[in-house]
Amino acid sequence: MDFQYEVKDTGSEEVLGYFYLDLHPRDGKHSHACCGPIQQGCLDDKGKRQKAVVVLICNFPRPTADRPSLLSHDDVVTMFHEFGHAMHGICSRAETPLFYGTRVQADFLEAPSQMLENWCYEKEALRLMSKHYKVRHAADFTFTHYEKNSQRICVQTVSHLSLDGRDAAG
């Protein structure tokens, strides 16, 4: 794994769980991005809460000797989307594995991920989280109102079509 992190509640300092990042391609690794549980955050057989542990898997370009790993905008959107699933799993307070994390209705399954994706279309958010790797200053981002809103509308439409198909199927 590339990195491991601990997630704490800032009010109580309680450790909620952990996540690992596996960011770069390697032989034998699948080619799509995903987030999955290593240990589900729920009550164990003695009624004690076990900490959620998740892994966020991506295939971002590897850094080279003369440049860091450079992410496209699509890569950034993917990272935020999958991180939404990671936080959904870590923040889940289910009692049983049956209802842990992303084991929810489809419309709620994608909600945290889609909310985080929206930051990837906000100029100020992009400016805060990125910079040109050579000159070290914030890059200039230009998104038209149409581009930003068409992305959100597309995501919502696909989600609704998916749900409508499930409802019609019974």
pLDDT at residue 157 greater than cutoff 50: no
pLDDT of 124 reads 84
Q: What angle do CA 138, 72, 53 make, to 5 degrees?
A: 100
Closest CA to 35 of 78, 93, 91: 78
pLDDT of res. 2: 56
Residue ranges and CATH numbers for the domains of the chain are: 3-169 (3.40.390.10)
Query: How far is the C-alpha of 128 from the C-alpha of 122, rounded, in Å?
Result: 10
Residues noted as catalytic: 82
pLDDT tens for each residue of 68-124: 898 888 899 999 999 999 999 999 988 988 888 878 887 788 989 999 999 988 888
pTM over 0.75: yes
Take residue 104 and report the two structure tokens written for it.
């929810």
Beta bridge partner(s), residue 55: 20, 36
Residue 167 to residues 104, 107, 108, 120, 158, Cα–Cα distance (Å): 15, 12, 15, 31, 14
